[in-house]
Structure 1
Amino acid sequence: MKIALLGYGKMGKVIERIALERNHELVLRKGSQDSFDGLENADVAIDFSVPSVAVENISTCLEKGIPVVSGTTGWLEKYDEMVALCNQKNGSFIYGSNFSLGVNIFFELNEYLAKMMNNLKQYKVSMEEIHHTQKLDAPSGTAISLANGIIKNTSYENWTLDEANENKIHIDAKRIENVPGTHSVFYDSEVDQIEIKHTAHSREGFALGSVVAAEWILGKKGVFTMKDVLGI
């Protein structure tokens, strides 16, 4: 499989190594200032760039008929536009706020717990996410996905980085050196606390998941998620 790698920072380099280990070929390694030369030779593109260029990367791939897998977060106000473009071009697109297998299992646990807790009004939900200091968006895309999973299954209406209120889930976003990603969901009452937590030990899980998603999407048309890739 020939891969165009859009975003060549720390994460991009881990994706490159794993792709090569899985006997794939990289035909483009694009930093934020580089051109798209070579994209036309790719079977699939993997976008792990930055929010300011993600939409351009994704739309360029869809315009050129290249299936694209994106793990860049912080641009989701344009997500519906990318879905519409994918459908218009009969393209192939996967967006994931997190490509780790463990995190996607965590997403399912989070929704299941939210359903269980919905009628227990004595418990108030809050969240914490910790990432490395180079992460540009806050809260993380993973934290937003977790919050949306809770909102879908409870009476909460939104999330906030500010002080919590009855209708909003408070997310405490922290940036600390050399932390790949930690996400916690808390249910607090006067008598106890329930916590579920996922801790990433390295970028390996995210990188592997993105390459597996790229392998999976070949030959498929439509807009997909990691739930489709993993069959969960």
Structure 2
Amino acid sequence: MTSREHAVLRLALDLAILTVRDNALQVLTITRGNAPFRSRPALPGGFLRDGEDLLAAAVRELREETALDGEPMHLEQLSAYGAPERDPRGRVVSVAYLAIVPDPPDPEPGSDAASAAWMPVARVRGRLAFDHDQILDDAVERVRSRLEFTTLATAFCGSTFTIGDIRNVYEVVWGRALDPRNFNRKVINTVGFVEPTGQKRIPHLGRPAVLYRHGGQKALNPPILRSHAAAA
């Protein structure tokens, strides 16, 4: 029979912070300096303090463990994770947050983090402490899905970008090559996805590329579906 006693638990926050660097989808990680899982990579996070708001706790933990400022980031709740054996220290439920940052600075370790670094998702997957592999998988799938139906790709690119930059985000996050002509036509013809700035990026070699900014819309209509994306 299931016990009718109420569970006594601690509440934690974990953060899946994603970016595109060096043509790879990367995640912010720390190396744990304390038990359990000492010396194992993990997502930044920690325990909620008395009288503290969830989002404030997530921002604090990010700052303490990596020296990155979460205030300007759009941190959104991803999910809650509460499997009974997820933490060997006792019953711990974690509320995970997701954020996407363009061109982030290198982190600096602090608190109980022995080190902090941006790591390719493909390299760190399967090595993370606790149930952070599941949190990371859920975060990546959330982003992959939202690229189909929203203008989220612009969040990876900063204030201005080329259509090639947007296509690179899709290719990196989805892990597949896209036909440049078809993709460029879809982006430019989708109202509110991007708008030209009137400026161009002048490369050292090659032709100048038109610079765009976010066009103000959040939803993509029509969507850019993974199942319909044409391979190069």
TM-score by length of 1: 0.26
TM-score by length of 2: 0.26
Instruction: Give the structure with higher Rg (CA).
Output: 2
